[in-house]
């Protein structure tokens, strides 16, 4: 229950979201930021082969955690000033809104991971 209260201190994460995050990602707070992003499937991976260079895509990971984090990210970009600035900077640089939302989702997950790791 202590982990739930730590997660709930972040704007955008409520009781149900915190419990869902801990159930779907039991590694939360135990692994590094790259691993947690890959486990959740929000880390971009390049698709390249030789001279051919494609776009970066998110792939793999646990699909359910991406669904769980969608609404909290929408709340976070409204009420968390740092994430709002990050989201707006991505939009200003020409990113598509869904791409920017996934980037904020990854940022929120990394913040949650670090909070649990060092609490």
List, for residues 73-108, the tens digit of each pLDDT value.
999 999 999 999 999 999 999 999 999 999 999 999
Residue percentage of the chain with pLDDT more than 70: 100
* pTM of the predicted structure, to 2 decimals: 0.89
User: Mean pLDDT in the chain?
Assistant: 92
Domain count for the chain? 1
- Which tokens go with 77? 């970009």
Q: Which domain holds residue 30?
A: 2-47+54-117
pLDDT for the residue 36: 95
């Amino acid at each position: 229950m202590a982990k739930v209260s730590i997660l709930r201190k972040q704007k955008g994460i409520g009781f149900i979201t915190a419990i869902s995050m801990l159930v779907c990602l039991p590694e939360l707070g135990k692994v590094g930021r790259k691993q947690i992003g890959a486990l959740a499937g929000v880390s971009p991976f390049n698709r390249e082969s030789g001279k051919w260079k494609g776009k970066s895509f998110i792939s793999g990971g646990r699909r359910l955690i991406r669904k769980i984090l969608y609404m909290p990210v929408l709340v976070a970009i409204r009420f968390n000033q740092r994430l709002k600035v990050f989201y707006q900077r991505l939009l200003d640089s020409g990113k598509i809104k869904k791409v920017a939302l996934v980037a904020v989702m990854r940022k929120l997950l990394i913040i949650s991971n670090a909070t649990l790791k060092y609490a």
